[in-house]
Amino acid sequence: MSLFVDDVTAEQMLNHETNVVHKLCHDNQRPKGALEIPLEQKAMIGLFSRLEGPSVAAEVFDVSPSSASNFAKGETVHGKGNPELKAALNDKVKDIHSITAEKLLATLDVMDVELIAQEKPRVQAGIAKDLATVMEKTSEKGDGGTKVQVIVYAPQPVDSMKFETIEVEAKSS
């Protein structure tokens, strides 16, 4: 077959019954995929994608990683914002966030500060990190009230030779 074809051959190829373009345009069919996933399931895929990552969500729900990533942002397959999907996703996230916050507070009430204080610093840091990770993954992205910024200032040590020195001699009387 030649790389260049005449108009008659090109039209025959386009109109052939096995050509996918012909099937899509003339048979009014479209391939199954993310376009036919119900809104509630898209929200679940998006939530799972936020918690576990798009590649894991794609594997579990049998969609493409880009679809899972878009659903996590409340977008359609083509990256266009979908207010209904975003609202459904935010409802699910808020439900999980409130349950997580409730469990976190209950856990903190049960935790004995003295027992935690007896643990090694590494274990203490692990407990704090795990609790913070759960809260972070379920909080809204634009919610600045849940983030704490700590700035630690450590002054640079300066060599005393850089300072101007004045020598004073004691007068004896």
Tell me, what's the pLDDT at 11?
Answer: 77
Model pTM score: 0.47
pLDDT in tens, 55-94: 988 888 888 888 888 888 888 767 688 889 899 988 888 8
Q: What is the crossing angle of helices 65-72 and 39-52, to 10°?
A: 90
Tell me, what's the pLDDT at 80?
Answer: 80
Tell me, what's the pLDDT at 77?
Answer: 66
Tell me, what's the pLDDT at 127?
Answer: 77
Burial 121-132 (b: 16+ CB within 10 A, else e): eeeeeeeeeebe
Nearest Cα neighbor of 134 from 171, 100, 87 is 100
Tell me, what's the pLDDT at 22?
Answer: 56
Tell me, what's the pLDDT at 142?
Answer: 57
CA distance 136 to 42: 22
Tell me, what's the pLDDT at 28?
Answer: 45
Angle value at C-alpha 99, between 118 and 115, nearest 5 degrees? 10
Nearest Cα neighbor of 100 from 132, 128, 74 is 132
Beta bridge partners of 81: 75
For the chain, which residues score pLDDT lower than 70?
1-4, 19-35, 77, 79, 134, 138-155, 173
